[in-house]
Chains A and B, each alone.
Chain A
Amino acid sequence: MKRRIIEFLLVFVCFLLQCTFFKNISLGGIGPNLLIILTSAFGFMKGKDEGMFVGFLSGIMIDILYGNGIVGLYTLIYTYIGYTNGMFHRIFYPEDVRFPIILITISDLVYCFLSYILTFLLRNRLEVGFYMSHVIIPEVVYTVFITILFYKLLLKLEMSLER
């Protein structure tokens, strides 16, 4: 229960930071995706259930305030990302840093691409190349940069929760 509360607080704070602080220090109008880092990290560190829980929380917060009248879309995407990352729990070792970073990168790529398809491609915005180079890649790079900075911290927190 304690772990759930801490996860909730973490998601909450990251959500707030993502729509306020990181938007103010965004580079070229692009901000990092902290919620993907959390969802993915808890997925492969603790398994499917935790991944889904964190993903669900992240998604529902986005949906309620910024969902533009449709609640459930981002919740669904984030939950699935948490679940999929949970599948890699079996081959996760805390000592290895490269594997988590690769996983988070792929998760963010998939997330961006899904958002592109669902919110842009379906409205006949076909220039994949442009959106790839101007939105998706910058976001992923920024997110990975933040991951490298804070991954160790997240791991330490997770270890202390374990005890």
Chain B
Amino acid sequence: MARVKLKRKKFVMPSRYTLGIITVLCVAMMFLTFFTDMVNGPLSYVAAYTIVPFERGFYNIGEAFSKRMDELKNLREVLAEVESLQKRVDELTQQNSELTRDRYELGELRQLYDLSDQLSNYDTVGARVIGKDPGNWFSVFLIDKGEEDGIKVDMNVMTGSGIVGIITEVGPNWATVRSIIDDASNVSAMVLSTSDVLVVNGDLKLMNEGVIRFEHLADEEDQVIVGDQVVTSNISDKFLPGLNIGYINSIETDPNNLTRSGTLTPSVDFKHINTVLVIKELKEGKSETKNN
């Protein structure tokens, strides 16, 4: 007779129970994070000391890589002409690449410095872009400054040429910025020449064409023309007044015959943002009451 082997089976939870538990947990978390700030705080600390430092390093590598790719294109032409001096060329390109990188950075920083002179009544802080939204739907990016540098949610973010976006989330040493071309972004703006108010909506459909949509332009006398400058309006809740957004690209009258809409060309090159400037001042009034 075969010996009966008594072995206690290790308890294994069936997968569908685990799935159920995770589902409940996630739904609870969604509600909790949507209505309160209880979980976001601790989690942002976790991210600050685990993910963000790595992200910074990786982004530099990627940036160096894409710049190196651009340089290779130039290098190819040179190589065809002077094959014998290849080694020399390589060496020099190497040095050159480092110098170009430095120079670009210098140029950018100088621009930012000039800008911070212009915005001298605002307290500003410079930051580097260290990551972008992993999905393809939104235009959100990560910067390497956070609460410790005095950054708060709803602060405005600029580059040398105009407004880039707004801070949506803050951790100890990181913050996420939603750019104004993001599909979920709405900015209250005005035409500089006529002070007519309009709303600038980001739109994924227009993102690749390099323009942003605007709506609700109440311009009854048809005074606004293509090429007019658009800046953030003074009635905006979150955006400081007078920051440059871009120039009107096309206008058409809405079917309701009252308002007009169209597209505008942003003055910031959203494909190549490396350094930004955060204005450490919140629009007064509403934002404070909201925090309490």
Q: Which residues of A contact B (CB under 8 A)?
A: 12, 15-25, 28-31, 33, 35, 47-49, 52, 56, 61-62, 64-73, 75-76, 79-80, 83, 86, 115-116, 119-120, 123, 125, 127, 130-131, 134-135, 138-139
Q: Which of B33, B55, B134, B169 has the most CB of A within 10 A?
A: B134
Expressed in whole angstroms, the minimum distance between the Cβ of B213 and any Cβ of chain A is 12
How extensive is the interface on chain B, given as a class? 35 or more
Q: Which residues of B contact A (CB under 8 A)?
A: 15-16, 18-19, 22-23, 25-30, 32-34, 39-40, 43-44, 46-47, 51-52, 54-55, 58-59, 61-63, 65-66, 69, 130-138, 140, 142, 168-169, 174, 176, 178, 183-184, 204-205, 207-208, 271
Q: List 6 A-B contacts (CB under 8 A).
A: A24-B62, A25-B69, A29-B208, A31-B136, A70-B33, A72-B33
Expressed in whole angstroms, the minimum distance between the Cβ of A128 and any Cβ of chain B is 12
Q: Tell me which residues across on chain B come within 8 A of A86, comparing CB atoms.
A: 15
Contact between A79 and B26 (Cβ–Cβ < 8 Å)? yes
Interchain CA distance A127-B203 in the complex, whole Å: 12
Contact between B131 and A19 (Cβ–Cβ < 8 Å)? yes
Q: Is the interface of B mostly helix, strand, loop or mixed?
A: helix
Contact between B27 and A76 (Cβ–Cβ < 8 Å)? yes
Interchain CA distance A16-B208 in the complex, whole Å: 24
Q: Tell me which residues across on chain B come within 8 A of A47, comparing CB atoms.
A: 15
Q: A65-B47, A65-B51, A127-B205 are in contact. Are A75 and B26 (CB under 8 A)?
A: yes
Choose from B58, B137, B178, B205 the contact partner of A115 (Cβ within 8 Å).
Answer: B137
Choose from A48, A64, A116 the contact partner of B46 (Cβ within 8 Å).
Answer: A64
Interchain CA distance A16-B9 in the complex, whole Å: 40
Contact between B184 and A123 (Cβ–Cβ < 8 Å)? yes
Choose from A12, A48, A66, A73 the contact partner of B134 (Cβ within 8 Å).
Answer: A66
Q: Tell me which residues across on chain A come within 8 A of B40, comparing CB atoms.
A: 69, 71
Expressed in whole angstroms, the minimum distance between the Cβ of B57 and any Cβ of chain A is 8
Interchain CA distance A49-B49 in the complex, whole Å: 28
Contact between B30 and A73 (Cβ–Cβ < 8 Å)? yes
Choose from A12, A22, A71, A135 the contact partner of B29 (Cβ within 8 Å).
Answer: A71
Interchain CA distance A83-B15 in the complex, whole Å: 8
Contact between A119 and B29 (Cβ–Cβ < 8 Å)? no
Interchain CA distance A155-B58 in the complex, whole Å: 25
Choose from B26, B132, B169, B208 the contact partner of A72 (Cβ within 8 Å).
Answer: B26
Contact between B137 and A116 (Cβ–Cβ < 8 Å)? yes
